[in-house]
Amino acid sequence: MKSHEIKIRIRYGETDQMGVVYHGNYTQYLEMGRIEWLRNLGISYRKMEEDGIMLPVISLSLNFKKSARYDDVVNVKTQLKKMPTAKIEFDYEITNENGEILTTANTILAFIDMRTNRPIRAPKFILDSL
């Protein structure tokens, strides 16, 4: 399935007193990966929301293997796990500059009609992009 990679430099404010990335910040890295994955397909998350479709996270799993630290540059690989239905699922791999796996993750998001707050099928423009 389609994948996309981004690089992120760890900022001081994302770390704890020991210089290690605080675990709660990883969700932001995953979000950045997803948004850039969509953008790489020519899909704007902002435009999707303007068109009345939102994608809330309904499941999140993180598996920490090694620590990321202040000023490290990490690579976030975002990969579509399977073709979207009413849900879209991604697998992630966060590695350091040496290619060592720091974290693996998985998210499932639901396509929601903002007017009705009800699930909908994946929009045609996303399926066509894949």
Rounded to two decimals, what is the model's pTM?
0.93
In this prediction, residue 46 carries a pLDDT of 93
Tens of pLDDT, residue by residue over 35-85, are 999 999 999 999 999 999 999 999 999 999 999 999 999 999 999 999 999
Residues 6+ apart with CB under 8 A from 33: 4, 6, 76, 77, 78, 90, 92
Class of domain 3-129 (CATH, top level) = alpha beta
Tens of pLDDT, residue by residue over 92-122, are 999 999 999 999 999 999 999 999 999 999 9
Q: What does the chain look like in DSSP terms, one character per residue?
A: --EEEEEEEPPGGGB-TTSBBPGGGHHHHHHHHHHHHHHHTT--HHHHHHTTEE--EEEEEEEE-S--BTT-EEEEEEEE-S--SSEEEEEEEEE-TT--EEEEEEEEEE-EETTTTEE-PPPHHHHHH-
Q: Where are the domains of the chain?
A: 3-129
pLDDT at 1 over 90: no
Specify whether the CB–CB gap between 84 and 37 falls below 8 A. no
Token couple for 80: 């579509």
